[in-house]
């Protein structure tokens, strides 16, 4: 048994809160303890009667704490996870009851599978991957640490994403492609060829250009 702490109290944090409430009994948590956020008033007016405990930079994990990230920018996800893990934080995965995880798929700690997502046979998610509503990871895909799949994003079979990749809403990576670290695929774009690290790919077929790694979030 543990107490869940949501790292980030913005819009995504509120979404994760409601997702966690749907599944919390199955995951064995006694309660949701609260949020970590640099803004102590982040939840004001949103009807969530839980505290912002501290900023992520200042919080010292307790033994019963279990964490999940609610940060949409993959680069910021990585830095927050690394700092908390360095203090001994234990992360848990949240899988909504409507998500479909086919036999043989692997989910590392700290992942979130939101409503109506699908993780196909033989696929694997590294730590802290976020699959937003309706996103699909095809068979035998490998999704790297802190990747973010926006609503409706689709990875064809045998796709490999390096760490900290962001795929915009309804973006598609066709089967067998490789996407380099910290690259971003724009909403509605379709990727037909491998992408190097640190690029922004837009269009159908997607064309890419270099982008600052610090700007790969949405």
Residue of 158, 152, 156 lying closest to 171 (CA atoms): 152
The reported pLDDT for the residue numbered 26 is: 57
| Residues 154 and 136 sit within 8 Å (Cβ to Cβ) | yes
Q: Mind listing the domains of the chain with CATH numbers? A: 3-92 (3.40.50.20), 95-205 (2.160.10.10)
The reported pLDDT for the residue numbered 103 is: 86
Point out the residues of the chain with pLDDT beneath 70: 1, 25-30, 212-218
Could you give the CA distance from residue 10 to residue 115 in angstroms, rounded to a whole number? 19
Give one DSSP letter per residue of 58-104, joined into a string.
T----TTEEEEE----HHHHHHHHHHHHHTT--B--EE-TT-EE-TT
Could you give the CA distance from residue 75 to residue 179 in angstroms, rounded to a whole number? 15
CA 108 to chain centre: 12
The reported pLDDT for the residue numbered 57 is: 92
Question: Using one digit for the tens of pLDDT, what is the confidence trace for 106-163?
Answer: 999 999 999 999 999 999 999 999 999 999 999 999 999 999 999 999 999 999 999 9
E-strand stretches of 93-141: 94-95, 100-101, 106-107, 112-113, 118-119, 124-125, 130-131, 136-137
- Sequence-distant (≥ 6) Cβ neighbours of residue 77 within 8 angstroms: 69, 71, 128, 130, 146, 148, 164
> How buried is residue 30: exposed, middle or buried, by Cβ count under 10 Å (0-12/13-18/19+)?
exposed
Provide the sign of the torsion angle of the four alpha carbons 137, 95, 106, 83, taken in this order.
positive
In what helix (H) or strand (E) does residue 203 lie, and over which residues does it extend? strand 199-203
pTM for this model (two decimals): 0.93
The reported pLDDT for the residue numbered 216 is: 42
């Amino acid at each position: 048994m543990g107490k869940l702490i949501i790292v980030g109290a913005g819009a995504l944090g509120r979404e994760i809160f409601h997702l966690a409430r749907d599944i919390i009994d199955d995951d064995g948590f006694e309660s949701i303890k609260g949020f970590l956020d640099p803004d102590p008033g982040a939840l004001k007016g949103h009807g969530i009667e839980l505290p912002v405990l501290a900023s992520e930079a200042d919080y010292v994990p307790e033994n019963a704490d279990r964490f999940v990230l609610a940060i949409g920018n993959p680069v910021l996800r990585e830095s927050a996870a690394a700092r908390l893990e360095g203090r001994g934080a234990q992360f848990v995965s949240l899988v909504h009851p409507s998500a479909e995880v086919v036999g043989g798929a692997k989910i590392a700690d700290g992942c979130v599978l939101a409503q109506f997502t699908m993780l196909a046979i033989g696929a694997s998610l590294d730590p802290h991957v976020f699959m937003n509503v309706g996103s699909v990871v095809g068979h035998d895909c490998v999704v790297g640490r802190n990747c973010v799949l926006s609503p409706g994003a689709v990875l064809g079979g045998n796709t490999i994403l390096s760490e900290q990749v962001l795929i915009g809403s309804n973006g598609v990576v066709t089967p067998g492609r490789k996407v380099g670290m910290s690259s971003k695929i724009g909403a509605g774009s379709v990727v037909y060829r491998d992408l190097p690290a640190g690029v922004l790919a837009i269009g159908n077929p997607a064309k890419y250009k270099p982008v600052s790694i610090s700007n790969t979030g949405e």
